[in-house]
Structure 1
Amino acid sequence: MEKNRVFNFRAQWPWVILLLIILAALLPLPYYMTQPGSAKVLEPIVDVENGDESKGVFMLTTVLVGKANVAEYIWAKASEYRDVFPKEQIRGTDETDEEYEARQLQLMQSSQDAARIVAFKAAGKEIEILHKGVLVTGVISGMPAAKKLVVGDLIIALNGEPIYTAEQLIQGLKKFSENDKVTLTVKNSDQKKEVELTLKPFPEKLVKNGDQNKFGIGITYPVTFTEVETDPTVKIDTNQIGGPSAGFMFTLEIYDQLTKEDWTKGYRIAGTGTMNIEGKIGPIGGIKQKVVAADNANADIFFAPVAASNYKHAKEAAKDINTEMKIVPVETFQDAIDFLKGLESKH
């Protein structure tokens, strides 16, 4: 009987090792993996009241982001168009899942607001811009704000002085030193309260070399909460797409529907880039992966931000995958319009 037991164990040990290998491969790591997402046609997503239709389409491009396991980490390292990043590069050090998702959705909302502002001004249409305060999208554990503020709070005053934008709050707090007390007026669900906080040093890992702003209350990623009222109205259904990188393409689609000219010229036009209210296009991450996504969607043209070498890397990816898609560099919304003005209509 004893010999049979030994024999059975030896017969099973390869399966035990295989099971351990599978479990190790699926073990989550403190990394995120990114890979090419999709190119989404914007016309069904963006609806300008009584907007004009076009023969072609504008498309936003996405990158898929998810927590990596061992197998995915190895896969990404062996792939040109998949990347892995330490968790801290994707999310704040102390950021919860709820805070990360809230921040991404708020950044998306901010990109929509900027898109409306730039497109309506360019089209000469009526628009009213109302800055309502600073939205809290995250707090740093161990800092004063962590005990008294929550995600979704809206800061509307600092020491009794109205606060309308994130920049105004940041500059206001820079006037104070360590251990100074400040009072914030905060709204949440129509309830208003006064919150007293004492400025404390930021954790060393969050202070950049040479940064003079070493003290604060511990709010991460403060965002200006803006209401934009337009005529005609604009509805944008992002279906839980987060982040600011679609801002530029939102702007093009809104402008295209606002004006009588068909700015697509019959082409399938993809692109990416953040948008600020001055019409400047900012860089994004995952540009090579977005080029792949656009090519998979049969795009004819891809707009790439010049900033942070986005255009350079987009050209490299286009050459590598041997696409016929034209890569066009843009620094401002007007750059894109100037290019489209000179573009011959597709027959």
Structure 2
Amino acid sequence: MTTEKTTKRKNFFSQNKFIILFLLVFAFIAFYPLPYYITSPGDARVLDPIISVEGGDEDTGVFMLTTVSVGTANIPQYIWAKLSDYREVIPADQIRGEDETDEEYNQRQLQMMEDSQHAATIVAFQEAGKKVDIEYHGVYVTGIMSGMPAEKKLKVGDKIIAVDRNPVMETKKLLDTLAPKKAGDSVDLTILRGDKKMNVNLNIEEFPKKYIQDQGPKAGLGITSPVADVSIVTDPKVKIDTSQIGGPSAGLMFTLEIMDQLTPEDLTHGKKIAGTGTMDLQKNVGPIGGIQQKIVAADEAGAEIFFAPVDGENYSDAVKAQKDIGSKMKIVPVKTLNDALDYLKKL
């Protein structure tokens, strides 16, 4: 009996070995991850349900943030992206830092989103002449360069609260304090890792050539994209619920939506207005990635106007995409918040 079962099993595998081989090859092709990410048009989300200002004014039009979908690539997705106009293949090291895990990358994106919300809230309230109290509690480490001093002694999520025993609670203060340092200098950082307070001594080292920019610093600790830990108290209160949306690129649109709810005038004038761009405390609108894909998302959502940052070729890339897809959406270049407000006043 045993011999008969063994013979049948051998016959089954012999007759179906090509099917089994095909399934194994298919599984490998379908699920084997490549060292690339695929970006594609995301969506355009109306901000009114996302941002709530207590007692805020309701208007007839809408402001929308735009997103880009990002996912790891496998072989079929890679081929599809190469054949698609608005899907882009990006090497993994251009999305994540060297040795940065997916968890660290996601955490960095969420912290940058939180920083973007804070900047938008502060700017909107100040522009509207409303009260906002700001407290800074330190600077988060959100990225670390491979091979630099920070890699050995710091972790993503550490919060820097002092440099050489001098309190450092803001990102600008941290950068200004480290800027005069030269390769070979020693720096003593006071950090919080969870609930534990620690002192960490590091030496300033020269950056690898691939990290050096023409006008940027030539040496440092290897901390990238630091984000301040900020608490804000506003009157009226503001609630922002972005779920798992990451990154800083919605700063401009957050600012406009908060202002629209704070003030009696209708900034939208009944229009569907999308856009993108970072916002800093000086009201500058910064460049972002994936703007052509965001143009596609905004057009599919029926946006009539799209605010595009001037810097970093964002505006020219947006116009190119708008013409390419045959959209009637108006692309408006903005360098500062005032550029956007001036355009809205003329509607």
After TM superposition, the score normalised by the length of structure 2 is: 0.90
Structure 2 Cα separation of the partners of residues 123 and 84 of structure 1: 42
Query: Aligned partner of 1:316: which letter?
Result: K
Number of equivalenced pairs: 339
CA contact (8 A) 2:98 2:146 kept: no
The range that moved more, 287-296 or 163-172, is 163-172
Query: Aligned partner of 1:192: which letter?
Result: K
User: Any stretches of 5+ residues in structure 1 without a counterpart?
Assistant: none
CA contact (8 A) 1:26 1:71 kept: no
Residue 326 of structure 2: aligned partner: 322
Does 1:168 pair with 2:173?
A: yes
Query: Aligned partner of 1:64: which letter?
Result: S
CA deviation string 1:25-74 (max 9, x = no partner): 43211000000001111011101111001111111000000101111111
Helix, strand or coil: the match of 2:81? Answer: helix
Does 1:106 pair with 2:111?
A: yes
Q: Find the partner of 1:274 among 278, 282, 287.
A: 278
Structure 1 Cα separation of the partners of residues 98 and 31 of structure 2: 24
CA contact (8 A) 1:108 1:241 kept: yes
Q: Find the partner of 1:236 among 232, 236, 240.
A: 240
Does 1:54 pair with 2:59?
A: yes
The range that moved more, 263-272 or 78-87, is 263-272
Residue 70 of structure 1: aligned partner: 75
Instruction: Describe the shift of the 1:194–1:41 C-alpha distance in structure 2 as closer, same or farther (beyond 3 A).
Output: same
Residue 147 of structure 1: aligned partner: 152
Helix, strand or coil: the match of 1:35? Answer: strand
The range that moved more, 261-270 or 182-191, is 182-191
Structure 1 Cα separation of the partners of residues 172 and 99 of structure 2: 23
CA contact (8 A) 1:33 1:85 kept: yes
Query: Aligned partner of 1:222: which letter?
Result: P
Structure 2 Cα separation of the partners of residues 239 and 273 of structure 1: 19
CA contact (8 A) 1:127 1:229 kept: yes
Instruction: Describe the shift of the 1:183–1:304 C-alpha distance in structure 2 as closer, same or farther (beyond 3 A).
Output: same
Instruction: Describe the shift of the 1:195–1:209 C-alpha distance in structure 2 as closer, same or farther (beyond 3 A).
Output: closer
Q: Note the C-alpha offset of 1:19.
A: 4.6
After TM superposition, the score normalised by the length of structure 1 is: 0.90
Helix, strand or coil: the match of 1:112? Answer: helix
Instruction: Describe the shift of the 1:320–1:175 C-alpha distance in structure 2 as closer, same or farther (beyond 3 A).
Output: closer
Write out aligned runs for 1:1-347 (5 A): 13=18, 16-17=21-22, 19-21=24-26, 23-202=28-207, 204=208, 206-208=210-212, 213-343=217-347
Query: Aligned partner of 1:296: which letter?
Result: E
Structure 2 Cα separation of the partners of residues 11 and 190 of structure 1: 59
Helix, strand or coil: the match of 1:20? Answer: helix
Structure 1 Cα separation of the partners of residues 300 and 196 of structure 2: 48
Query: Aligned partner of 2:293: which letter?
Result: Q
The range that moved more, 236-245 or 172-181, is 172-181
CA deviation string 1:91-112 (max 9, x = no partner): 1112122221111011101111
Give identity over the alignment, percent: 55
CA deviation string 1:269-291 (max 9, x = no partner): 11111111111111111111111
User: Any stretches of 5+ residues in structure 2 without a counterpart?
Assistant: 1-9
The range that moved more, 297-306 or 137-146, is 137-146
Query: Aligned partner of 2:39: which letter?
Result: T
Q: Name the Cα RMSD after superposition.
A: 2.4
